Structure 1
């Protein structure tokens, strides 16, 4: 049937399905779904995806309805107009209208690897940008201009590959759709039948299988991909280290699975007080990882301190190994020394390093550490700045309601933000074990850790606490860096790779960001000590310095000096000063709050990639999908591979031979007449292969006599004649015929 005939059939109102065109449009639909799924992920992370789905549906419906009424040039004008209008509205929505140069530099950054998830208002960007490509891609497909449609859709997907937001699987799905649209679309124009596309199905199956083995198709890294580097050294065999995962994540932190610990010494720090040496924070939770949004500015010599009272903490860092981060007690206000000219400041007031610190280099950081007592934090209230509340309470719309419900039950007796944070912190410490042997969740990490896992390491604890607090509209974020390390003098610490850690920061009005750490400290330190002991037993030379290995430094007992501030006003942070927060939240009258389990859970402090660890641990590589169900994209590609395999086998004749091999050896019973006829058909097939086929002019009896068949074959033919011509065959006779043929087949096989 020609293209014109098919078109007339549709225009005359005749209900007719053109399989060739349907498959070609299906290829375009796969391409659209590939980049559309990335857009959907953006708006799911940052807001409600319903509006995006509505916008996409309207764009596709408009393309369908206008495909028969406007020419291509006007459709291009509509698409460009939609894109320009959307981008203009996006720019106008920004709090500060950037000049042209920042917009150009941001565009260049996006096309050279910066994720769109780092864009603060990415949901508005999607709503502004997506209608144009969706409209044009589908309009061209409906006009049977498949190549042009692939160029429009492929350009959109290619942009998302450059921003690293389209994973390899998503990209492969789009590439497969594009190939189908172009190849089958050409058949549609020529009027070929769908049978001509069978070789294409085989080629696509080969492409997909090869892409699973080697990166044939380009694509951004998986959103949950782990980051490995030189920090892999020193840990247990197998996966990467906690340090590599946390400290080399840059602006995107993927939640990993099995990890190990590295005991290598990284740096020394001389400080006025013990602290967590923060390296970075993350504000946007994606469900399977974290993203730091916003851009960076040059360091101009000083930064603002926290909004409330603070104490100055001076630190001097000496790199024992090469470093590409600037650790600092929160909140840093100035930097000096070798890194001062290479430091930038991100939107979250964190320090970033443009370059690296060489071994032996020294630099200084001055921080203003927030000082607030527990009572001050309880009285801080919830009058958050709108920018803080909007940014740090967002959660993906796909986050399960059960997380909020569980959190509300746990914190039912907590009346303040501070009490809520403390209850959640202690509940996680007391109800989840510590283990490095975990299987990375497929979906929402916090949801699965809270409900499906028994144990995890710091990233799981901190991520879950942030999400739980955000469900209660409490601004919280994830922080990464190093714990204090081994104290070797009154004001000096040695920090190793295994001190890499993640924790939680909660915002309090008029105070700023305050640290909470839900990871059980005892099991974590035990795992670190095990790794260090193992390294020393193996005579590792990179895990100790001249003044380490002799035990932690302790102060010489002296009379206790008077504190700098009254005890009730001692800082809630661990630096400077001791923690003065209570062990538990209590009801009036002194009884513990409900749902806060104070008994210690079982702990698996494992630092190797074993099998069967807590929380469903084990090797993530088990099975084709790492022991998890396939995603929709993977299932679609799997179906295409299966189709190509079936087509290839059929074209090679293997499926026919396989079917006949089963058919001739197995006969299900039905009624006697049917069974007798089927038994004779099987007999003919066997005799045709052993001797020769029956000629058209030969009767069954003549054929059997001519080839010298034995009495078993003659009896089968007799039963078949009675069934066909006399209509008189018993169940026993039919069963006998089937058994005789089974015997002949078995004899033939022998």
Structure 2
């Protein structure tokens, strides 16, 4: 085989292999879009290395078996892997019979329920992953791109139906799948690589342009409104109450002054709606389901408690039923259900004028009792309520550990974190939503936020120290209008924290500073009145004076010495109960070397090198977009010929020098390119140099260069002077 034939064969092989390589890459991108969603789940619940290992083993197995395993056998293997994975998942399910639970999960997932709401999402992901990965890559290696894209795309479609795949991820998977099919078709028809590259350019444009020019609001929490018909977009209440099973931490937000409930009760409290247990890094998810309320008595909280009766009158349509924690009896809510955290959910929308009654058992545990509660947590409580995403920055736990270094008990740790946040962060509704982990941003990059940020950060800090805690939403006590009656507005919507103590259950803590919060809410109500907005007042509100004695709307947790003496358990002597002493010098000031915003003070403080704001790394979506855009741009630029033209322009105008023969040949090649591309026509293959310059009636300088080149090539007679002349003449022509 001659050298020319070998070059031609290599070029032909390259023209076939490049479409194959790019088609395989497109299949991987399609599969990667689905795996990205699954990796997010695993990052939230743990064991990301196990997930990555399963993906790697599945790819290696498919690569090894692609040449020897028949297609139908490969399908059987994938089905068996999926069945074994789901079978293992069933063994991790507790409560309902496994097959019933699996069917219920499948129905709810396809109906738009996020996979993160499944308690055993880790087992689900690890069990399901091998089958689709193996089969997708097997088909791709066999050049069956349509079934490969069908398997990977079907997996991604499942996550689209559950609402877990965002717009960018979905669009990336769809376009990559289309590119894989197009590139595979080029390969089968033995089309040149240049045509295949066009598919990559189009795919990149399809992904990048919509992502760059579209602003797609987060869909989490976009379920039916709490008060249908009211425009409450971007309010604290809408964020906290409309979220239902998913709650996304938002940026700037407002308050709604409209009245929601009138509450008749002997005492004010936090009117609790529900809690969230699974932290995702940028929001919260409520796992578990609900059970029918059969109008019996619900479980009382452990430890000492007191009875609080409440009657709620609905003033605006609502889909929630607030109550003091913990409700044990409810009346007036037909079809009500009970969440697994003990909160009550109305069975139908509550209309204006509806009312319901609640009897609650409120914890009477004293600070001393909580301080002595110990750490003998039930296994289910500890595993569920100390969960943090694997990607949570280590400095969050480091900060919490340093803050609570002198705290000896979980209660003391909770009090230290609570008061540190109250004292070291400002209250503001006008904040930019941080990128990345919310708690990390609030600790190290922000100096202000509202209740969602405070509560999220406190829960994250406590969980990093293995203290079970959860994020809770509801309403604060409201405006007191009579001795036993309060008016609750939308602006009373609030988020706080509950911490678990053995023998006493869940206890309320509120890290959001009460004074600034109430000041903002008072101004909001006053402005609404001045603007004559509707539904701001009832017949009992709107006067210049509030009912006396004035109520402090912020219900503090069980922390003070006075509360300790009044909340004595049946087996303790009130004369000996004291509030535990908290570590001094921590809760009233920031850490040494760290200012109130979390940034380092210059040159001071232990660990200062670790507490400064970390550079913001791009998200996986942003990285993927940049990668696709760069690939498409590179291929597009190459296809446009711009780099080659730029190189040719530089090559044409500048000639490096070496030996005379080489210099003359280079000068002639420059001349020939100049004449063919810029002024006349290219030289034909069967045309001699003399025939060519005569045919185009070339400039005498061009004829002279051609003559020098002819003598140098065929006679080997060339001098330094000849080379200098040839280079000079070509330079004159091209300039």
In the superposition, the TM-score normalised over structure 1's length comes to 0.79
Cα pair distance change 1:354/1:41, threshold 3 Å: same
- In the alignment, the residues of structure 1 paired with residue 385 and residue 17 of structure 2 have an alpha-carbon distance, to the nearest angstrom, of 51
1:536-556 Cα offsets, whole Å, 9 max, x none, are 222212322222232563436
The answer on whether the counterparts of 1:285 and 1:291 sit within 8 Å (CA) in structure 2 is yes
Distance in 2 (alpha carbons) for counterparts of 1:334 and 1:117: 30
Contact 2:381–2:468 under 8 Å retained in 1: yes
Q: Is the 8 A contact 1:232 1:241 kept in 2?
A: no
CA-CA distance at 1:273 after TM superposition: 0.9
In the other structure, the counterpart of 2:623 is 635
**Per-residue deviation, residues 155-185 of structure 1 (Å, max 9, x unmatched):** 2111111111122222222222322222222
Match of 2:604 in 1: none
Structure 1 counterpart of 2:455: 462
From 276, 280, 295, the counterpart of 2:289: 295
1:484–1:493 CA contact under 8 A, matched in 2: yes
Distance 1:586 1:494 in 2: 38
After superposition, the Cα gap between the structure-2 partners of 1:229 and 1:583, relative to the gap in structure 1 and judged at 3 Å, is: farther
Cα 1:406/1:737, change in 2 over 3 Å = same
Q: Separation in 2 of the partners of 1:582 and 1:717?
A: 103
Shift of 1:141: 1.5
Q: Which moved more, 1:16-25 or 1:446-455?
A: 16-25
Would you say 1:246 and 2:240 are equivalent positions?
A: yes
The residue matched to 2:334 in structure 1 has which SS?
Answer: helix
Matching residue within 295, 300, 305 for 2:300: 305
1:187-266 correspondence runs (5 A): 187-209=186-208, 211-212=210-211, 240-266=234-260
- Bigger CA drift: 152-161 or 93-102? 93-102
In the superposition, relative to structure 1, how do residues 16 and 300 fare at CA in structure 2: closer, same or farther (>3 Å)?
same
Larger CA deviation: 650-659 vs 72-81: 650-659
Corresponding residue for residue 47 of structure 2:
48
State the 1:109 CA deviation: 0.8
Partner of 1:568: 564
Query: Secondary structure, in 3 states, of the residue corresponding to 2:172?
Result: helix
* Residues 398-436 of structure 1 deviation map (CA, whole Å, 9 limit, x = unaligned): 222222221111111111111110000011111112222
Shift of 1:112: 0.7
Give how far 1:119 is off: 0.9
Residue 31 of structure 2 corresponds to 32
Change (3 A) 1:672 1:427: farther
Whether the 8 Å CA contact 2:447–2:596 is kept in 1: the answer is no
What does residue 485 of structure 1 align with?
478
Shift of 1:19: 2.2
Deviation (angstroms), 1:210: 5.4
Q: Distance in 2 between matches of 1:593 and 1:540?
A: 41
Give the alignment partner of residue 530 of structure 1, picking from 500, 513, 523.
523
Partner of 2:174: 175
CA distance in 2, matches of 1:25, 1:694: 40
Alignment deviations for residues 106-129 of structure 1 (CA, whole Å, 9 cap, x no partner): 211111111111111111111111
Mapped to 2, the partners of 1:362 and 1:299 lie a distance apart of: 17
Does residue 332 of structure 2 align to residue 333 of structure 1? Answer: no
Q: What secondary structure is seen at the aligned counterpart in 2 of 1:18?
A: helix
Residues 177-225 of structure 1: CA deviation (Å, up to 9, x unaligned): 3222222223333333322213312331342245437999xxx985867
Secondary structure at 1:73 match in 2: helix
Task: Check 1:112–1:215 CA distance in 2 against 1; reply closer, same or farther (3 A cut).
Answer: farther
Match of 2:139 in 1: 140
Secondary structure of 1:341's match?
coil
Structure 1 residues without counterparts, runs of 5 or longer: 1-8, 558-564, 573-579, 604-626, 745-750
Report the CA distance shift for 1:644/1:414 in structure 2 as closer, same or farther (over 3 A): closer
Number of the residue aligned with 1:576: none
Q: Separation in 1 of the partners of 2:173 and 2:621?
A: 10
Which of 281, 288, 309 matches 1:314?
Answer: 309
Partner of 1:420: 413
Contact 2:303 2:503 in 1 (8 A): yes
Matches of 2:704 and 2:722 in 1, distance apart?
Answer: 13
The 2-side partners of 1:23 and 1:130 are apart by: 24
**Alpha-carbon separation, structure 1, partners of 2:694 and 2:596:** 81
1:316-715 equivalences under 5 Å are: 316-337=311-332, 340-551=333-544, 553-555=546-548, 568-571=564-567, 585-587=582-584, 630-645=618-633, 647-648=635-636, 692=680
Q: What secondary structure sits across from 2:348 in the alignment? A: coil
Decide whether aligned partners of structure 1 residues 148 and 263 sit closer, same or farther in structure 2, where only a CA change above 3 A counts.
same
Name the SS of the counterpart of 1:68 in structure 2: coil
SS of residue in 1 equivalent to 2:203 = helix
Query: Secondary structure, in 3 states, of the residue corresponding to 1:148?
Result: helix
Q: Distance in 2 between matches of 1:679 and 1:15?
A: 32
1:153 has 2:152 as partner: yes
Deviations 1:287-341 (A, max 9, x none): 111111111111111311101111111111122211111111111112212xx21
> Would the aligned equivalents of 1:372 and 1:569 in 2 still touch at CA under 8 Å?
no
Partners in 2 of 1:736 and 1:521 — Cα distance? 85
Q: Which deviates the most, 725-734 or 359-368?
A: 725-734
Q: How many angstroms apart in 2 are the aligned matches of 1:668 and 1:475?
A: 73
In structure 2, relative to structure 1, the CA distance for the partners of 1:90 and 1:698 (3 Å cut) is closer
Inter-partner Cα distance in structure 2 for 1:520 and 1:297: 36
SS state of the match for residue 39, structure 1? helix
Contact conserved, 1:166 with 1:221, CA < 8 A, in 2? no
Which range moved further: 240-249 or 39-48?
Answer: 39-48
Find the counterpart in structure 2 of residue 748 from structure 1: none
Q: Alignment partner of 1:333: what SS?
A: strand
Any idea what the Cα deviations from partners look like across 1:466-488, whole Å, max 9, x if unmatched? 01111111110000111112111
Alpha-carbon separation, structure 2, partners of 1:732 and 1:372: 102
Q: CA deviation at 1:355?
A: 2.8
> CA offsets, 1:635-658, max 9 Å, x none?
333433444455556656677777
- Deviation string 1:441-490 (CA, Å, 9 cap, x unpaired) is 22211122112222211111101100111111111000011111211111
> For 2:280 and 2:391, how far apart are their aligned partners in 1?
10
Alignment partner, residue 3 of structure 1: none
Post-superposition offset of 1:280 = 1.0
Helix, strand or coil at the partner of 1:494: strand
Greater mean alpha carbon deviation, residues 58-67 or residues 546-555: 546-555
Residue matched to 1:610: none
**1:669 to partner: Cα distance:** 8.7
User: Is the alpha carbon distance of 1:705 and 1:127 closer, same or farther for their aligned partners in structure 2, counting shifts above 3 Å?
Assistant: closer
SS at match of 1:342: coil
Matches of 2:671 and 2:578, distance apart in 1 = 88
1:733 Cα shift? 13
Query: Does the CA contact (< 8 Å) of 1:474 and 1:506 recur in 2?
Result: yes
Root-mean-square deviation (Å): 4.3
Q: Are positions 1:271 and 2:254 aligned together?
A: no
Moved more, 502-511 or 19-28: 19-28
For residue 127 of structure 1, what is the aligned residue in structure 2? 126
How much does 1:566 deviate? 8.7
Classify the secondary structure of the residue corresponding to 1:23: helix
State the SS of the aligned residue for 2:27: helix
Q: Does 1:284 pair with 2:282?
A: no
**Does 2:68 correspond to 1:69?**
yes
